[in-house]
Structure 1
């Protein structure tokens, strides 16, 4: 028994209160663990689908850029890329999932208009437009996948930490407290019997 306890009624009352509070905290942690695990499984399923879409989008983008290069020429494709007046940007902020801070990734200028691409200056091309749109979509999916992957990692870390706390309470802290409660109750009963026996002996004298 790891707890330093005194077999008194006040100690028993305090211990019962602590067991109740600890059990309440244990139940809340279990609810948090289960809730986080549900969020993790849902997001994991979405992540698997997102990765499959990402692979398909990447394949489409490669085909589009290959077609544009073969028809318009590699120089025209490079010129179109250089002519863009804006560049994609990624901003990372934070959001909260059941008390867990996870990254929120937002992209800006991921899909540019024809004007922002500067294609009007070089005449433009439906093949180059298609390639540009394909890569814009690819960037969007990469940004989303990165956010989901980082969120999954953070949720998994919190799930493991919460699981350790739940296990510590379930298999160590609460059992030790209940063992101490039993010890105090038995000791108090023993002391009461001894006192009763002592009083009887005193009366019989």
Structure 2
């Protein structure tokens, strides 16, 4: 706690009290924001963990299919089959505001709704395991996009939580204690000045009374 360099006046005391009230209100709002951000961050982390496990399982399944397909197909035939994709995917990126943090929202749209358009080759000269690999990747794509969205959201929320935490600590451990100490100092200084003024007024009053008594005594002596 450190005293601010201010003049110990009533006007300054009023101004500092207003600043303290604003700081206390801001401290409460920031703490509420930090707690809500933390709650949403933990929800996203739990979702992220489940999505990552699901995506890893899907990719692992697709790899198994690819390995089997490659073992029964010639390398050139496999490359030709996958050379020209038939389906097209368009990724749309939007934003969602969560506690003043813009987190991404990914939406994938295919050129057609036909589920068989994912196969860019004929079935006569390819293995059924290649179909399984392509289908597994097509099924895991939405989860991969959701995982990317979830991980980016977690990063942004973590950065905002850290920023909010620093602000809360600065208010709680620096600004608010400094304001309170300065207010106490000014209050004590004003009370001390008031006591000094009261003592000075009492002394002046005693001097005036003594002077009045002296004047009355002198008039009495002159009258005699």
- Calculate the TM-score normalised by the size of structure 2: 0.80
**In the alignment, what sits opposite 1:135?**
137
**In the alignment, what sits opposite 1:12?**
13
CA shift in 2, pair 1:145/1:79, >3 Å = same
Is 1:42–2:43 an aligned residue pair? yes
Offset from partner CA, 1:129-187 (integer Å, 9 cap, x none): 32211011233322221111111111111111110000000000000000011011101
**In the alignment, what sits opposite 1:162?**
164
Counterpart contact for 1:87–1:109, Cα < 8 Å: yes
Q: How far 1:67 sits from its partner (Å)?
A: 3.3
Q: How far 1:108 sits from its partner (Å)?
A: 3.0
Offset from partner CA, 1:93-114 (integer Å, 9 cap, x none): 3221111112222323398621
| Greater Rg by CA | 2
Is 1:96–2:88 an aligned residue pair? no
Gaps of 5+ in 1: none
SS of alignment partner, residue 82 of structure 1:
coil
User: In structure 2, which of residues 203, 206, 223 is the aligned counterpart of residue 204 of structure 1?
Assistant: 206
Counterpart contact for 1:89–1:108, Cα < 8 Å: yes
Counterpart contact for 1:94–1:101, Cα < 8 Å: yes
| CA–CA separation in structure 2 for the residues paired with 1:106 and 1:117 | 22
Q: How far 1:91 sits from its partner (Å)?
A: 3.4
| CA–CA separation in structure 1 for the residues paired with 2:90 and 2:76 | 25
Is 1:190–2:192 an aligned residue pair? yes
10-19 vs 180-189, which moves further: 10-19
**In the alignment, what sits opposite 2:217?**
none
**In the alignment, what sits opposite 2:183?**
181
- State the number of aligned residues: 205
Offset from partner CA, 1:22-63 (integer Å, 9 cap, x none): 100010000111111111111111111111112111111112
SS of alignment partner, residue 83 of structure 2:
helix
| CA–CA separation in structure 2 for the residues paired with 1:73 and 1:39 | 50
**In the alignment, what sits opposite 1:57?**
58
**In the alignment, what sits opposite 2:34?**
33
| CA–CA separation in structure 2 for the residues paired with 1:11 and 1:132 | 73
| CA–CA separation in structure 2 for the residues paired with 1:130 and 1:20 | 65
Gaps of 5+ in 2: 208-224
Counterpart contact for 2:3–2:181, Cα < 8 Å: no
SS of alignment partner, residue 102 of structure 1:
strand
